[in-house]
Amino acid sequence: MSGMQDSLRELYQEVIFDHNRNPRNYRPLPAANHHADGHNPLCGDQLTVYLQVEDGIVRDSSFVGHGCAISTASASLMTEAVKGKPVAEVEALFRDVHALLTEGREAADPARDFGKLEVLSGVKEFPARVKCATLAWHTLHNALVGEHETAHTE
């Protein structure tokens, strides 16, 4: 088995398939007070991220849209990861995940425990697919900072 096949298995792990088949928090959020759209025109991937923020804490989070397994799983994992976290911590997580996906583990906060999100780091070996994994996170960031422009990764 070549390195490419190893990399493929590192990326397409059961966690990814599970979250692609049964995405968590896949619904609009009527109580949301933050939301943003994300679009990757190159892939056609499109999603909306909803956040309900109260007293500086992300109380609930969800998404709807369509995309490849990587982008769907990334969005699903993200909505789980941010729930219950203070906004400042979510922003720090966004920066660390972005660093993890684009530059590697060493670029992120050494103290950061990525938990299940670690699985996404497999995209590093697939430069053409990094944008699939980062789309939801850019959209999350836009939703938090109240950016109304659609987030794009391409």
> Where do contacts with other proteins occur on this chain (CB under 8 A)?
1-5, 7-8, 11-12, 17, 20-23, 26, 41-46, 65-70, 72, 126, 128-129, 132
Question: Could you tell me the smallest distance in angstroms from the CB atom of residue 95 to other proteins?
Answer: 26
Q: Which residue number, 9 or 107, has a Cβ lying nearer to other proteins?
A: 9
Residues 6 or more apart whose Cβ sits within 8 Å of residue 23: 63, 72, 73, 75, 76
Q: Which residue number, 82 or 135, has a Cβ lying nearer to other proteins?
A: 135
Q: How far apart are CA 54 and CA 121, in angstroms?
A: 31
Question: Which amino acid does the sequence have at 51?
Answer: L
Q: Which residue number, 72 or 134, has a Cβ lying nearer to other proteins?
A: 72
Question: Could you tell me the smallest distance in angstroms from the CB atom of residue 80 to other proteins?
Answer: 16
DSSP 88-150: HHHHHHHHHHHHHHHT-GGGS-TT---GGGGGGGGGGG-GGGHHHHHHHHHHHHHHHHT--SP
Question: Could you tell me the smallest distance in angstroms from the CB atom of residue 50 to other proteins?
Answer: 16
Residues 6 or more apart whose Cβ sits within 8 Å of residue 4: none
Q: Which residue number, 24 or 90, has a Cβ lying nearer to other proteins?
A: 24
Q: Which residue number, 90 or 120, has a Cβ lying nearer to other proteins?
A: 120
Residues 6 or more apart whose Cβ sits within 8 Å of residue 53: 33, 34, 59, 87, 144
